[in-house]
Chain A
């Protein structure tokens, strides 16, 4: 298992965790399509932690037939998960949107590129996201 910390509003290093995980998977000989899915899921989780979560920790584990990505933060949590899962819904402030983030596609992208997705959250108590990507279809 590898784990990395994500700092709040750190746009300079944002994306490093995703490229780190992708390189690790590639070096282990994982198929490019699977590496791509894992890196998109990680990138979106990373940006969520940077933008909304007040930073957080992202971990990746490769075991058996699956890659599991767990993102955990102690931010404000998600008030309405089903709303947050809708494409286009976003609570990001304007300065974030001007950078081309906050389009309301983060969680929908994570869902689209993972085979299993669980989100545990409570307003005011942060969030834990667990996404699984199967190594074979």
Chain B
């Protein structure tokens, strides 16, 4: 599924860093403990979290996460936005909380 389609179909989305054209994702993961995400997220999954600081980009980069979705309307720190831009990681906020966002994503066909 294209990241751009996911972002279009999810409610209350603000895109901070747009996805690169045609990038697709099939898996998803959620968590706010960085070491947990580091150890457990499937490679290449999209990541739903409420953490909005710069180290989110470091974890996303290492896990080859193409989309970070900040839940509960959390805004990214300027450093996080810059880093995602530099590394080509799509970054968006949704007004939905993590549970609701994962429910919608699952219904769209994103699994882990």
Contact = CB atoms under 8 A, between A and B. Distances in A.
A36 interface: yes
Give the contact-size bracket for chain B: 10 to 19
A100 B33 contact: yes
B25 to A, nearest CB: 17
A39 interface: yes
Contact of B54 (A11, A43, A47, A112): A11
Nearest to A97: B33
Contacts, number: 61
B34 A19 contact: no
Contacts of A39: 62
Interface in B19-72: 32-36, 38-39, 43, 49, 51, 53-55, 57-59, 61-62
Given A11-B55, A15-B62, A16-B58, A101 B79 contact: no
B80 to A, nearest CB: 10
Ordered nearest first, which 4 A-B pairs have the shortest CB separation?
Answer: A15-B58, A105-B35, A103-B33, A100-B34
